[in-house]
Amino acid sequence: MRRTGVAAVLALLVAACGAGSAVSDFGTVVKGAKGTTVRVELRPGQRFSLAVADNPSVGDNWDLVEVPDPKVASFISEEHESESDAPGAGGTLYFVFNSKHPGTTEIRLRDCWRCGQNKTPSDEQSRQQSGEAIFAVTVSPPK
C-alpha cells in the first residue's frame, strides 16, 4: 500500500506542474505584427508580453528568434489564447518577459508560415507570407 500512496502523490505532483505551467499574468501587453517595429518603454521589474495574431491551422508558426539581452529582459514563457473553441480558430500568441535593468534590447519574433518542422520556407508563397515582428525594448531607470 505504501508504493501505491507514493505513486498517487507523484501523479498529483506531475499533474499539478502541468496544469500550473500556464502564465496567468501577461503584464503590459504590446501588440505587434509581421513587418512592423514597435517601441516598448518599461520600468525595471515590469512584466510584459509581446502579442501577435496566431492561427496554426492556416500555417502560422511563431518563434522567438533569439533570447534578448538577459541584463535587460528575461524570457518567461510562450502562451496561446484562442478566440473560440471552434476547430481551426485563430487567437493570440504571447511571449512573456520580465524587464530587468536599464538598457535596450531588440526582440524579434518570426512567423515561418507553413514551414513545417525544418523552419525553412518550402516554396515562394511560404517565403512571402513569412516575416518578423520586431520590438525595440527600452528599460528606463526608475524615477
Sign of CA dihedral 60, 48, 80, 74: positive
Average pLDDT over the chain, rounded to whole? 85
Strand order in the sheet with 73-82: 28-31, 47-54, 91-99, 73-82
- Residues 49 and 112: their CA atoms lie apart, in Å, by 20
Q: What pLDDT sits at residue 32?
A: 97
Predicted confidence at residue 10, as pLDDT, reads: 37
What fold does the segment set 26-139 form as a domain?
A: Immunoglobulin-like (2.60.40)
Give the tens place of pLDDT for each residue, 6-64: 343 333 333 333 334 467 889 999 999 999 999 999 999 999 999 999 999 888 999 99
Instruction: Pick the closest to residue 133 from 28, 36, 29 (CA basis).
Output: 36
- Specify the pLDDT at position 22: 66
As a whole number of angstroms, the distance between CA 78 and CA 68 comes to: 14
pLDDT of residue 88: 78
Average pLDDT over residues 116-127: 84
Extents of the domains making up the chain = 26-139
pTM: 0.80
- Residue 126 pLDDT more than 80? yes
Q: What is the DSSP string of the chain?
A: -HHHHHHHHHHHHHHHHHHT-S-----EEEE--TT-EEEEEE-TT-EEEEEEEE-GGGT--EEESS---TTTEEEEEEEEEES-SSTT--EEEEEEEEE-SSEEEEEEEEE-TT-GGGTS--SHHHHHH-EEEEEEEEEPPP-
Write the pLDDT tens digit of every residue in 48-94: 999 999 999 888 999 999 999 999 999 999 999 988 888 778 899 99
